[in-house]
Amino acid sequence: MTPAPAYLSAETRAPGTIRTNRVVLALLGLALFLAGTAAVLVGLGVLGSARALRPVLDRPVETFVGDNRWIWAVVAATAALLALFSLLWLLMQARSNRLSTLPLEQRGSGGHTILNASALSAAVVRDIQDIRGVDRATAHLRGSPPDHELSIHVQLDGRVPARDIHERVVHRVIADARRALAVDSLATRLELDLPKVAQRDIR
């Protein structure tokens, strides 16, 4: 058992997409930086004063494009690759690691039992919202079985110490979820949030 980390990043629906966005945007930033720097260096005459005096779209370039018709096939192929990559990148934004169903452990050979994940998460949310000191809660299953994880977010109202709510959620609600799934262990990520202004009991 690895020790728990002291700090975590906020939960995300698609960690792979987050990484891809970061890499692609960093590469795009690098490309823009290099292109902009190159243009400035040419303009300042660092790469030769004769080159700085030439038009940006130079005659030899136009002549080369005019003489070589195959260049248009390359342009079209590059544009097709750009469109394909952009489409894949767009579709990737819709990815989610949330589970809609959860296959339960099979006992015997009498078929398969599948649990609707929303049934479990709705029951968990209902039980948590019954706890005094909870304003609202959300829950969902994520990952892929058997390495799935129950993720719970609880917004407290500030009337009850977070430690007490933590105890109740772990020992009552998550324990019930484990019993419902007939498992000894259920990986769970529980996030608690305190309100800006604590609510008060009206007596």
- Nearer Cβ to another protein (96/110): 96
Shortest Å, Cβ 27 to another protein? 9
Q: Which is nearer to another protein, 1 or 202 (CB)?
A: 1
179 contributes a contact to another protein by CB under 8 A: no
16, 63, 68, 72: residue in contact with another protein (rule CB under 8 A): 72
Residue 133's region, left for phi above 0, alpha for psi from -120 to 50, else beta, is left
From the CB of 109, what's the least distance to another protein, in Å? Answer: 29
Report the residue from 16, 64, 80, 136 that binds another protein according to the rule CB under 8 A. 80
Compute φ and ψ for 143, nearest 5 degrees.
95, -165
| Integer Cα distance of 38 and 172 in angstroms | 63
Q: Is 65 in the site for another protein (CB under 8 A)?
A: no
- Residue 140 pairs in a beta bridge with 151
114 touches another protein (CB under 8 A): no
182 belongs to the binding site for another protein (CB under 8 A): no
DSSP string, 128-169: HHTSTTEEEEEEEEES-TTS-EEEEEEEE-SSS-HHHHHHHI
Please state, in angstroms and rounded to a whole number, the distance separating the CA atoms of residues 83 and 98.
28
Question: Positive or negative CA dihedral for 75, 79, 85, 88?
Answer: negative
**Residue 181 binds another protein (CB under 8 A):** no
Q: Report in angstroms how near the CB of residue 108 gets to another protein at its nearest.
A: 26
CB of 52 to another protein, least distance (A): 4
